[in-house]
Structure 1
C-alpha cells in the first residue's frame, strides 16, 4: 500500500531549559499530513502550535530547546530529528518553506526584494543569476504582485503589509517546496488583505500541490483554508478531525470553548461571546490529569487524576476526553459551539 503522507509526526516532546526549570512546550504530539493537504493547527497562545511547526523546520535554537522524544518523518524516509544542521539546510528552503507571522521583522531591510527571493534559488538549484531572476519574476506574478520587474528592485519598507506578506510567500515558494508552513500568516493584516492572502494561499495549494500547515488561532482562516484540523492545548493534541467534524461534530469541551468564543453571523447581534474561563496551566509543572480539567465545566474527579487517551470517533476524527468513556455521564454539546460560519 502506497504511503500518501508527506509528513508523519509521532510522540513529539520538546522542552526548553531555563534558569527557572524545564518548560514542557510540546508533550507527545502525533499527526500525519497528506500530500497536497491543508492542515490547520489551532489553539490559544502558548499551546505549542508554533513550537511544533518550528521543530519540524528545526528552527528553534538548541540550547535552550531540546527534542526529548519522538519522530518527524518527512517524505516517507527522512528522519528530521536525526539530521545535522548542514543536512537540514539542504532541505530547508528547497523542500520545506515557512511563511512567518510578521513579514517586516522576517525580511532583510538592507536587501532588495528580488535579491531575497533569488538567494534561495541560487543556493539550492545552482542556477545563474539570470535564471534565478526569471524564476523570481514568475513567482512574484504567481503571488499576484503588480509590476514584478519594478518590485524586484525595491526594499521591504517600500511595500504595504499585504505586499510584504506576498513577498514572504514568494520566498517560501521560490524553490517549489513539498511542504509549506504558514505561522499566523494573516495576523498583522487588516481584514480585507487577510481575505486576499487566504484566497491566494488556497489557489497556490491547488496550483503547486504543496502540502500546507497553517498555524492559527483564527477559526475563520481555518474554515476558509483547511481540510483537516488539529486542536492543541497545553502542548498536546486534544482533538483532530476534518473541518466539518471539528466545526459541527466536535467532542472536546476545549474545542467547544474555542467555537463559542467566535462571533457568529447567524446569531442575534446582542448575543455575547463566551470566553473560556481561567488560564492555561503552567508548563513548568503540567497537571498529571487532563490539562483542561481546571477550566472545564464538565470535569469529573478522574479528569484531574488521569490523562485521557484518544477515543477514535471515525477514520479521521478522535478526541482525548473522559466524557467519551462509556461510563461517563452524557453531555450535550452547547448549541453555540456548532455551525460556525463557513
Structure 2
C-alpha cells in the first residue's frame, strides 16, 4: 500500500522575465511519508525554495509558469486546485516556516491574534477556544508566561522566540506536512540547536512530515531521514541520510561534503571548495549542469544530461559516472567504493526482508 502523503513528480517551474522565460525547477521528483523528514539541500539558487513555494502555491501568479508536473497531496494534484481549495489546505494540512520570522509576523498585530487567526478559519473554534489553543501552542514551543505573552507584539520577542512563535502558528492546526525553509539560518548556533530540538520533539508528538530546506549539512545530519540534493533546478541525487553522507555518488554531493568542516578531522586538514559558481539558469545547455565545475567530467557530460540511475533501493543519482557504458577507470575510487557498499547494503536489506539467508 502506498503510504506517501506527498509526491512531487516531474515538476517544472519557470519565471517570465524581460529576457524571456527562465527555468528555475527542471523535472524535480521526490516523495514524503507520514512522520519522516526529507531534507532538500543545495547552494543558493538551486531551486529549493521555488520547489517548496510551488507546493504551497505561494509563487507570484503573474510571472510563474508551471508547464508540467504534479504535486499530489493524499493522492490529489494540488496544481489543479482552485484558489479557495488551496486556501483551505494551506495552514491546516500543509504549513510553512520561513527563514526570517519578522517577515512572517505582522508587526502591528498581537501574537495571540496571529495564532488565533488560522485556528478560527480552519478549525472553526470560538474566540475563547482559539485563545486557549494559542496559549497551549506557545507553551508547547517553550514560550514562558504564555498567557501574558499572547498580548505581546513581535518586536517584544527575541529572534529565537519569534521563530518559536512562527512554528507555533504553523503547527497550531495540526498539519500533516510542515515545510521549513531555512528555519534556523538567521539564528545563532545555541538558539539554532534549541529550535531543531523543538522541531524534532513536536514532530514525534504530532507525527508531522517535514520538508527541510537548507544549505547547512550540519542541520541535515541532525534532522533528516532522507536527503535530496538539488543543483541548477534538478535533483541530482537522493538517498537515505547514511547513503548521502557516507556513500555519495554524485560529484556535487561529494563536493558539498568535502567543503563542510569536520570537527573529527585534524586541524591541519584543509577544506576543499567546489570551484566556480552555479550556472545561469537562463543559459543552461543540453549537458550536465555541473559539468563545468566537476573534477571528473567527460566529453559526454558537456553534450547530454544523464538519466537517473538507481544505485540501491533507496538511492538514485543523475551522473554519467553511474552509466554502465562508462569505463571503470573513469570512475573515481571514492564513488566506485560507495557504489559497491550501497549494493552490499541493498543485498543485505533484501535478505533481511526475506527473513534471512535461506538454509
Scaled to the shorter chain, the TM-score interval is over 0.9
CA distance in 1, matches of 2:292, 2:38: 29
Number of aligned residue pairs: give it.
333
Shift in Å at residue 327 of structure 1? 2.9
1:224-265 alpha-carbon deviations (Å, 9 max, x no partner): 001000000000000000000000001000000100111001
Structure 2: 5+ residue stretches without partners: 339-359
- Alignment correspondent of 2:345: none
What is the distance in 1 between the residues matched to 2:284 and 2:121? 43
Structure-2 residue corresponding to 1:340: none
How big is each residue's C-alpha offset from its partner over 1:16-60, in whole Å with a ceiling of 9 and x where there is no partner? Answer: 001112110000001110111100000000000000000000000
Structure 1 residue 270, shift from structure 2 partner:
2.6
Give the superposition deviation at 1:84. 1.3
* In 2: Cα distance, 1:288 partner to 1:279 partner: 18
Q: Does the CA contact (< 8 Å) of 1:27 and 1:236 recur in 2?
A: yes
Please tell me whether Structure 1 or Structure 2 has the larger radius of gyration of its CA atoms: 2
Aligned residue among 83, 91, 94 for 1:96 = 94
SS at match of 1:273: coil
Matched-pair contact (CA < 8 Å) for 1:176–1:208: yes
Cα offsets for 1:256-295 (capped at 9, x unmatched): 0100111001111132211110111111121211000000
> Would you tell me which structure has more helix in proportion to its own residues?
2
Unpaired runs of 5+ in structure 1?
338-342
Match among 220, 224, 229 for residue 218 of structure 2: 220
Q: Tell me what 2:172 maps to.
A: 174
TM value normalised by structure 1: 0.96
Query: Which residue is 2:334 aligned to?
Result: 333
Deviations 1:96-137 (A, max 9, x none): 100001001111000011000000000111110000011111
- Following TM superposition, by how much is the alpha carbon of 1:206 offset from its aligned partner in structure 2, in angstroms? 0.8
Contact 1:17/1:64 (<8 A) preserved: yes
Q: Bigger shift: 324-333 or 165-174?
A: 324-333
The CA deviation string for residues 193-244 of structure 1, in whole angstroms up to 9 with x for no partner, is: 0000011111111110010000000000000001000000000000000000
4+ residue stretches of structure 1 with deviation over 3 A? none
Distance between the aligned counterparts of 2:272 and 2:151, measured in 1? 48
Aligned-residue CA RMSD in angstroms? 1.1
Mapped contact 1:281–1:287 kept (Cα < 8 A) = no
TM-score (norm 2): 0.91
